[in-house]
Chains A and B, each alone.
Chain A
C-alpha cells in the first residue's frame, strides 16, 4: 500500500494493564500524542517503563486497556481479526531488536514473507524486495539463510522486510540494541534514509540517547507516563 497523504497517528489517553483484576500491573498510565505523515519519534525511558508495550499497541499487536489509538482515522482495535491482520500487513512495518528473521528462509524470502499473506507476490514485488535489499547493501546475500549473516546484516534484512509493503507506520523496537556502535550507526542511518524516501511515520524505541538525539521528536516514558518531550511538535 502506498503511503497515504492523510497518514496520521493519534494516541489518546492510553492505559495498559497486565495480570488479573486483583493483581494487575499498570504499565501505561494515560499516554497521548499525535503524529502525521513524514514525522519521526524516538521513545526513550528506563527498562519496564512501557516503551515496547506502547509500540506493540500502536502496531496493533495488542489492545489498550483504556484509551484509543487511531491510525489514519480508524481504530484498528475494533477490526475483526482478518481485517486487523490485513491492516497490520499493509499499514505497519516492524523492526525488532533481534531481527526475528525466520531461519528456514533465505534473505529474499524473509523480505517477501509479508507479501505472502494477501497474495501480492508478483514480479513487481520481487523487484522491490531486491531493490530494498540492494538499498540496505545486501544484494549479494539474497539466497543466504539468516544463520549465515552477521547481526547487523540480519537487522538490515529486517528493515527491508518491514518496508516491503510500503507501510504508513514504521515501528522499531531497539533496532540497534544488539549491535556494535559502528553497525548501529549504519542501521540507524539506513532507517533515516528509508524513512526520508518513503515518507512514513517512524517511531523508534531505544535506550541509545545518541540515536534518540537524531530524531525530530523525543518522548521519555517513566512509569508509564510521558515525562518529557523534546523537538518539534
Chain B
C-alpha cells in the first residue's frame, strides 16, 4: 500500500511538472471518451425512447395478431373473444399523427377498447378509463373525437380538459377534445405519455380510415404447457393474411433495423481514442526520456524494474482517469447534439422516433471511462517497458532509443505488413460486421507501423531531389532532425496520417455515395411532378393519398399521364418486414438500372406485370436473394411466394420490393394509394403546373406537390443530414491528431533546448530557427499527407465495397475528385504547420544562455 502511494505520488508530481504535456494527454483521452459516450448515449437513448414508448403501448401483451397493410378484420377479435373465449385480448388501432397544437410534433395515437384494457395497460391508465369520473367516461365512450392526454403534456402546453387538439394524418386534419388527463407515478410511463394520445378505438378507426379494421389484437397467452395449445388454437382460426407473433419479436425487429447504422456510428466514435493512443504514447515516451536520470537514481536506490513499470503505468492511469472523467462530462454535453442528429437520421431512414431525454446510463459512462483508461494504459505500455531498461546510472539516452528504433525498423515494417494482411484476411470474408471494423483497424494500424519506414524514404527523397536544390541548408537540417528523432516524429506523423486518411476515406465515400445517389435519383425520377400526403417523418411514406385527388390529376389540363404507388409494410415469412411498393408504371422507364434482371427492360417489365417481384439491392444483399428466388409474403389470401424477376439499385436502408399494382390489389384488399407521379404534356411549364395544382387543392386538402428537382433536392438534404454526424466525428478525430502533433513537437523542442542554445550561440537567428521548425513540421505534414492519400483511398474502397455493402447492402460507384485529396493534403500540411507555430515561437523566446544551462 505504501509502495502504491509512493508510486502514485511520483506519477502525480511528474504529471504536474509538465502541465502542458499532461494537459494534452488528458485532452486526447477526454475527446476520445467523449465521442464514445456521446454516440453511445445517443444510440441508447434513441433505443430506450423507442422501447419505453413501445413497452407502454404493448403493456402485458405476450402476443399480437397482425395482418396486412389494412390490418385485421374486427370479426377476428369478436371470434377470439366470444367463440374461443380468450378474454385476455384487446383490439388496437394505432398510428403516428402530427399534432399541430403541440408545435407539429409527431405523437403515437392509440385507439383502445376501454372494456378490454384492464389486463393489458393498467399502468398506462387506459384500464382506469372505466374509473374516470362519470362525465369523462361518458364523453370518452360516447362522443367521437375525444382524447386522453398525459398530465405532463397537459401541464407543459397548458391544455386543460375541454381544450381541443388539432392533429394531422396525411392530408387530413382532425380536432380531438381532451376529456381527461392520465397521470402516473411510474417514470417510464410518464415518459411514454409525452408522446401518446389515447382515443376510443372507433375514433382511431375513423382518423386512420380503418373502419372495421384493427391494426392488431393484443393477447396474453398462458405460460407452458398451455401456451402451445393456445397458440395452435388461435392460429387455426386465423383468416388468411393474419398471423400471431410474440410481442418481443415484433418490436425487437424494429430495433434490429438500426443495428448496422448504430454500429457504423460506434465504430467511428472509437476513432478519436485510437488516434489519441498515439498522443499518449508520445507523451509518456517523452516523460520517460526526460526522467531517465531520476529513473536511474530510483533503480540505484533499489527500485525494481517492475516497480518502474508500475510507476509509469500509474502516471498514465492517473492522467487517463482525469481524461476519462473530463470525457464523461464532455460526452454527456455532446450527446445533446448527437441525439438530435441520430434521431433525425432514424426518423429519416427507419421509423418515427421522438427522443426527448438523454438516458445517462451508468453502464455507458463506465464503459466509456474504462475504455479511455485502458487506451491510456495501452499507449503507455511501450514507453513503460523502455523505462525498465534504464540502468541504475541512468544511461538510457534519446540516441539509444532512436538507434534502437532505427534498428527495429524492418521488424516494425514487417509487423505493419502482417497487420495489413490480417486486415485483408478479416475484411475479405463476409463475417460479422464487428469483425469487419476490426479489419479496418488492422489496416490503419498496419499503415501506421509502415509510417516510420515510409517517412525515412520520403524524407530522403525530399532531401535528395528537392530540398537540396531549393533550401539546401535548412532543408538538410530539417530532414536530419526528423530522422534523428524518428521514434517521436513518426508517431506524430502516423497519428496525423490516420486522421487525414479517415478524412480522405470518409469524404471519398460520402462524395461517391452522394454522386451515385444523385445520378440514381436523376434516372429514377422520370416523372415531372410528385404528389404525396404530408408524412410524419421521411421514413413514413405509407400515408394515404385521397382517391379523388388522383382522379383529378388524371383529368387535369396539361397532365399527360399519372403513375401511382401504394407503399406498405408487409410481413414476409422468411425475411421479416419489407417495404412493398405497388406501382402502375415504372417512372424511371428505360433509365431504370437493374443490377440483375430476367431480360431487357421490356422483358423484365412483362415478367413484373405477370406477378414477379423486383427487389431492392439491400434486400438482395442482406438476405442473399437473387433472380429466380422466391420471397413469401403474408397476403390477405395467405402466404404467397413471389418470384424475383429483377434486382434494382436502391439506397433505402430497409429491404424493399416493387410489385405491379394489379397484382398487389389481387392479393391484398387495399383500395388506397400513397403517392402519384405526374407527367406533364410536352411544352407545359412544370413550375407553373405545380402552382395551378396547389391553388386547386389549397385549403381543401393538404398535399406535398413537388417537382422532380425539388424532390431530388429534398432527398439529398436527407442524405447530407445523415452524414453530418459522421463528418463531425471525423473532424473531432482530426482535432486529437492535431493535438498529437503539437504535443510531439513541443516535446521535441523541449528535448532540443540545449541544441537550440548551441545554434543560437553559433549565430543562428531566431527567424532561422523558426523557419527550421516550420520546415520540419511542414515536412512532417507533407509526409503525413502523402501517406494518408493511398491509405485514405484504401479506406474509401473498404467503406464503399465492404462496409456499406455489408451494413446496408448498397453498391456504390467510387468517384474520385482531386479536390478531396487536395483538401486532405492541405489539412495535413496546415495542421502540422499550425502545430509548429507555438514551438517555433517558444524557441525564439528562449535566451541562448538559459537554453545552454538546461539539463
**Any A CB within 8 A of the CB of B452:** no
B749-774 near A? 1/0 per residue, CB < 8 Å: 00000110111111111111000000
Interface residues of B in 818-855 (CB under 8 A from A): 847-850, 852
Distance to closest chain A CB from B403 (angstroms): 9
Distance to closest chain A CB from B281 (angstroms): 23
Q: Contacts A61-B847, A104-B480 known; A117 to B763 CB distance under 8 Å?
A: yes
Closest residue of chain B to A88, judged by CB? B763
Taking CB atoms, residues of chain B closer than 8 Å to A121 are 473
Q: Contacts A82-B767, A102-B755, A105-B480 known; A94 to B761 CB distance under 8 Å?
A: yes
Taking CB atoms, residues of chain B closer than 8 Å to A102 are 755, 758-759
A157-197 near B? 1/0 per residue, CB < 8 Å: 00001000100000000000000000000000000000000
**Any A CB within 8 A of the CB of B543:** no
Closest residue of chain B to A147, judged by CB? B399
* Interchain CA distance A119-B763 in the complex, whole Å: 12
B761–A85 CB distance below 8 A: no
A62–B762 CB distance below 8 A: no
Taking CB atoms, residues of chain B closer than 8 Å to A96 are 758, 852
B481–A61 CB distance below 8 A: no
* Interchain CA distance A90-B763 in the complex, whole Å: 8
Q: Contacts A61-B847, A62-B847, A104-B483 known; A89 to B852 CB distance under 8 Å?
A: no
A89–B484 CB distance below 8 A: no
Closest residue of chain A to B767, judged by CB? A82
Q: Contacts A61-B848, A96-B852, A116-B473 known; A85 to B481 CB distance under 8 Å?
A: no
* Interchain CA distance A90-B483 in the complex, whole Å: 30
Among B754, B765, B767, max chain A CB count under 10 A is at: B765
Taking CB atoms, residues of chain A closer than 8 Å to B484 are 103-104
A85–B760 CB distance below 8 A: yes
Interface residues of A in 121-178 (CB under 8 A from B): 121, 147, 161, 165
A85–B758 CB distance below 8 A: no
Taking CB atoms, residues of chain A closer than 8 Å to B760 are 61, 85, 88
Distance to closest chain B CB from A43 (angstroms): 16
Distance to closest chain A CB from B266 (angstroms): 44
Among A61, A82, A92, max chain B CB count under 10 A is at: A61
Taking CB atoms, residues of chain A closer than 8 Å to B768 are 117
B480–A113 CB distance below 8 A: no
Taking CB atoms, residues of chain B closer than 8 Å to A53 are 849
B481–A104 CB distance below 8 A: yes
* Interchain CA distance A96-B852 in the complex, whole Å: 10
* Interchain CA distance A202-B765 in the complex, whole Å: 24
Distance to closest chain B CB from A3 (angstroms): 17
Distance to closest chain A CB from B509 (angstroms): 41
* Interchain CA distance A154-B765 in the complex, whole Å: 24
A interface, how many residues as a size bin? Answer: 20 to 34
Closest residue of chain B to A16, judged by CB? B849
- Choose among B481, B754, B764 the residue that contacts A100 (Cβ–Cβ < 8 A): B754
Q: Contacts A61-B852, A104-B481, A121-B473 known; A113 to B762 CB distance under 8 Å?
A: yes
Q: Contacts A96-B758, A96-B852, A104-B481 known; A85 to B764 CB distance under 8 Å?
A: yes
**Any B CB within 8 A of the CB of A86:** yes
**Any B CB within 8 A of the CB of A114:** yes
Taking CB atoms, residues of chain B closer than 8 Å to A161 are 762
Taking CB atoms, residues of chain B closer than 8 Å to A62 are 847-850
B847–A94 CB distance below 8 A: no
B641-678 near A? 1/0 per residue, CB < 8 Å: 00000000000000000000000000000000000000
B409-450 near A? 1/0 per residue, CB < 8 Å: 000000000000000000000000000000000000000000
Interface residues of B: mostly helix, strand, loop or mixed? helix
**Any B CB within 8 A of the CB of A81:** yes
* Interchain CA distance A168-B849 in the complex, whole Å: 20
A47-75 near B? 1/0 per residue, CB < 8 Å: 00000010010010110000000000000
- Choose among A85, A92, A147 the residue that contacts B766 (Cβ–Cβ < 8 A): A85
Q: Contacts A103-B399, A105-B480 known; A117 to B852 CB distance under 8 Å?
A: no
* Interchain CA distance A165-B847 in the complex, whole Å: 22
Distance to closest chain B CB from A79 (angstroms): 12
B849–A61 CB distance below 8 A: yes
Taking CB atoms, residues of chain B closer than 8 Å to A87 are 763
* Interchain CA distance A147-B406 in the complex, whole Å: 15
Closest residue of chain A to B403, judged by CB? A147
Interface residues of A in 95-118 (CB under 8 A from B): 96, 100, 102-105, 113-114, 116-118
Taking CB atoms, residues of chain A closer than 8 Å to B758 are 96, 100, 102
Taking CB atoms, residues of chain A closer than 8 Å to B762 are 88-89, 94, 113-114, 117, 161
Taking CB atoms, residues of chain A closer than 8 Å to B847 are 61-62
Distance to closest chain A CB from B456 (angstroms): 13
Taking CB atoms, residues of chain B closer than 8 Å to A59 are 761
* Interchain CA distance A104-B484 in the complex, whole Å: 6
* Interchain CA distance A113-B761 in the complex, whole Å: 11
B480–A117 CB distance below 8 A: no
- Choose among B483, B759, B763, B848 the residue that contacts A86 (Cβ–Cβ < 8 A): B763
A81–B766 CB distance below 8 A: yes
Q: Contacts A100-B758, A102-B758, A147-B399 known; A85 to B765 CB distance under 8 Å?
A: yes
Closest residue of chain B to A146, judged by CB? B399
Distance to closest chain A CB from B849 (angstroms): 4
Taking CB atoms, residues of chain A closer than 8 Å to B480 are 104-105
B761–A61 CB distance below 8 A: yes
Distance to closest chain B CB from A173 (angstroms): 9
Distance to closest chain B CB from A42 (angstroms): 21
Taking CB atoms, residues of chain B closer than 8 Å to A56 are 848-849, 852
B472-495 near A? 1/0 per residue, CB < 8 Å: 010001001101100000000000
Taking CB atoms, residues of chain B closer than 8 Å to A105 are 480
Taking CB atoms, residues of chain A closer than 8 Å to B850 are 62
* Interchain CA distance A25-B637 in the complex, whole Å: 100
Interface residues of A in 182-219 (CB under 8 A from B): none
Taking CB atoms, residues of chain B closer than 8 Å to A100 are 754-755, 757-758, 761, 852
Closest residue of chain A to B844, judged by CB? A81
Closest residue of chain B to A164, judged by CB? B762
Among B480, B757, B763, B764, max chain A CB count under 10 A is at: B763
Taking CB atoms, residues of chain B closer than 8 Å to A117 are 762-765, 768
Other A-B contacts than A94-B762, A104-B483, A114-B762, 10 sampled, CB-CB below 8 A, are A56-B852, A59-B761, A62-B850, A82-B766, A85-B763, A88-B762, A90-B763, A100-B754, A100-B757, A114-B763
24 example contacts (A-B, Cβ-Cβ < 8 A) are as follows A56-B848, A61-B757, A61-B760, A61-B848, A61-B849, A62-B848, A82-B765, A85-B766, A86-B763, A87-B763, A89-B763, A89-B764, A100-B755, A100-B758, A100-B761, A100-B852, A102-B755, A103-B484, A113-B759, A113-B762, A114-B763, A116-B764, A117-B768, A118-B763
